[in-house]
Chain A
Amino acid sequence: MAKTPMAATYEAIGAHGAAVDPDVALMLALARGDESAFEELVARHQSRIVALIHRFVGDEAEAEDLAQEVFLRVYRTRDRYQPKARFSTWIYRIAANVSLNALRSRGRRRNISVPLSYEATETQEGQTSAHVEDAHADRPGARMEQEELRTQVREAIDQLPENQKVAVILNKYENLSYDEIGAIMGCSVMAVKSLLARARTNLRERLAHYMSTGRMRQSLA
């Protein structure tokens, strides 16, 4: 019996071919000129993509701008779209690349505009904890403490090397498996395991001051 176009499509997806991916079907409908399929794709993914990018850049307005760019990139490829992986894998990869590019260009701007003393605190490993401790010498109210903690978490993630940052965000906030992260990042499961192990170690050192339990908090007190 001849294969249907959709069956052939899913077969082409490879390892994920057995799973029905409605996003791939929508993308193929868009490729055939069904513009409503794009609207459906945006509706299905906008929250996750904006949130994902927000984890990288830390600014809501910028996250929305970059998410728009992600969806436009998806739209632009509609005529030559070939489903080789799950749609979510593909769009996460685009989102991660767009985010990292934005951070790189921001980093170039920061190198010009940020005072040297602040920059030194930001870029040297091992300095963050001391910086945090100084900032909390005079503890403000609970709300400000919460805000401060949020800022420190944000900075701790920002200071991770790029590949560790991507792995952490995809694993922690998107609940993706090592296999899925590897597919998005284009690396092996073992590499993802290594990245996440090192990222956890780095984050633990940088956030030690805020741990409610454990020896590291005691040692800093």
Chain B
Amino acid sequence: MVGGRDFVSHRAVTGRNRRVTMEPNQPMCRRVRENLSAYLDGELKGTARRLIEEHLAECAECRAQLDELKETWRLLDELEEPIVHNDFRREVLALARAEAQAEQIAREGGRRSVLAGLAASAAAAVFVFGLYASSRPLSDPPTPRQREAITYLDLLENVDALLCLDQARELQSLGQSMEASPAAAPAATATKEASGV
């Protein structure tokens, strides 16, 4: 509801007991006409409505204005009311179902995409980790034990040959000693077969 505060306060200023005549009362008429629309819509209550009605009872000009506004509003009834097509509801429901299905498909497609994305991410992670792991010994500085191992790498790689060489030298010295003492010869032959030299 529209409050008639402005209207009421105006009336208070002009005086409650002031008699309104048929003579144009410009400020009052203006105030009333500003509120005629709300009056017609039933939005004025109480004092505001009563003051309008009192003024209308005494002011022919404002009554004419009121009649014109009523007539204008009545003319708007000329617009036809459309008749809703019989299939309207069915069509709306069909469109809604189609949208729901499309959303469902999009959601499922989205889930598949997420799973595929996760699998691809996992594969990529494994690949990257592999690259990292394979490149790490080259990029990180060797530990003291590794440095020591690298220093003696040639030695370690040929340790078997060196052992054989030692054994060969021992056999050679043994042979020399057997030449000097023939009783030790069978034992030296057995040792040579065992070492495969």
Contact = CB atoms under 8 A, between A and B. Distances in A.
Interface stretch (B93-101, B137-145, B164-172, B173-181): B93-101
The residue in B34, B36, B79, B85 that gathers the most chain A C-beta atoms within 10 A of its C-beta is B79
B60 to A, nearest CB: 11
Contacts of B79: 55, 150, 153-154, 157, 173
A108 interface: no
Contacts of A71: 92, 96
B116 interface: no
B2 A193 contact: yes
Given A68-B91, A178-B38, A200 B82 contact: no
Given A39-B89, A46-B88, A63 B78 contact: no
A68 B94 CA distance: 11
A193 B88 CA distance: 35
Contacts of A72: 92, 95-96, 99
Contacts of A25: none
Contact of A211 (B41, B72, B83, B84): B72
Given A60-B82, A75-B99, A197-B38, A203 B71 contact: no
A212 interface: yes
A156 to B, nearest CB: 8
Contacts of A210: 75
Nearest to B83: A60
Interface in A4-21: none
A128 to B, nearest CB: 13
A112 B75 CA distance: 32
Contact of A64 (B1, B67, B85, B97): B85
Interface of B: 1-2, 34-38, 41, 43, 64, 67-69, 71-73, 75-76, 78-85, 88-89, 91-93, 95-97, 99-100
21 contacts: A35-B97, A39-B89, A42-B89, A46-B88, A46-B92, A60-B83, A64-B85, A64-B88, A68-B91, A72-B95, A75-B100, A150-B79, A178-B43, A189-B43, A193-B2, A197-B34, A203-B72, A204-B72, A207-B75, A214-B67, A216-B68
